[in-house]
Structure 1
């Protein structure tokens, strides 16, 4: 299977429960969700005129809407060139695509895998993949967060700036009908002071975890 890849690079995971883990990020192109605060809007569209050679998306901080069509086998070949053994598949919205083949092959070479998704599309992945759902409610694209995604999540990483965002999250959690152990992380949008204070207060009150986007404070990709 082929995937539209915006960039592949090695860094430290800066968000959620995996913060601090050396990771290879595979960023896929394409996302119709339309989050107003998205910091990767360049990944939203997959347009033929922006299709490039694989060499232009490897080990770069792309920040453009260029993408390369890479097979699972080619991605595996690239991943083997790095030291990290934890793979984060993000976007864009990675669950626009069936990730089962890719994540299965990555497991086969001894890598752990994680996907970061809005939860608005069916999650198709290897059963050992760690799933981070960052639920997006009321976004421009009009997509609903799927109960199946909430049930599959190992971690909910919820961006917040207001009390309404917390109310939205609590409503989503009531939809879950799974006994699977899951961690809830609150992530202040854009590290704004009030959002951070609200996240800290809410995490303490609910025994949730704070996610602070460490990579942005450290000025790394």
Structure 2
């Protein structure tokens, strides 16, 4: 049975994209080589065995620490039960969860009755159950120099693109023009760090193109 390094598990509401407002259990994977300069979870980038802690200690770990516990699908489901979580929607995020083959894990979650969403940078193949809702936040021209995979874009149910300036919209246009999408994902623009200039640009572009605006609602209301 596959095992995964998990940085944190918590219950909240989804603050971004199509599922904004949906009660969710977040499962944050450890490990990401993409290197986005504005990333607000840089503590998840490196997976070091010395940072491994017991599962029972994960709930009380310091939030922004690289410490992580090792789970498989059975122990993850058991942890949801142990914590008394009630949400029926799972958000698998990171880090970069698609570094792993997530088909067995997501199949187990779906079979248990959860709806499942995965958030990925689009730089690794998306190996998940067919019913999983895939959010691709394409990380274009990042320091890790990983290209955005056409197969990831083709699997996307929504594309949620972080922007700070017009250059980022132009990069998205170039990326979308490079792939003949077989299904039309919903496209969201998300201002980086709630910057006023970026928010204004996102609003104007969404109105002009009939795209959607994604705000990090959880940050505005002060929840995780």
**Structure 2 length-normalised TM:** 0.96
Structure 2 residue aligned with 1:178: 181
Structure 1 residues 156 and 121: alpha-carbon distance in aligned structure 2, compared to 1, 3 A threshold: same
User: Within 1, Cα distance between the matches of 2:223 and 2:62?
Assistant: 10
* Pairs aligned (count): 221
Equivalence map 1:32-111=2 (5 Å)? 32-58=33-59, 62-80=63-81, 81-111=84-114
Q: CA-to-partner distance for each residue in 1:176-201, whole Å, 9 max, x for gaps?
A: 22321310000000000000000000
Structure 2 residue aligned with 1:156: 159
Runs of 4+ in structure 1 off by over 3 angstroms are: 58-61
User: Within 1, Cα distance between the matches of 2:153 and 2:49?
Assistant: 33
CA RMSD of aligned residues (A): 1.1
**Structure 1 length-normalised TM:** 0.97
Kept in 2, the 8 Å contact 1:8–1:60? The answer is no
User: Within 1, Cα distance between the matches of 2:168 and 2:69?
Assistant: 35
Q: Does 1:12 align with 2:13?
A: yes
Kept in 2, the 8 Å contact 1:9–1:60? The answer is no
Structure 2's unaligned 5+ residue stretches are none
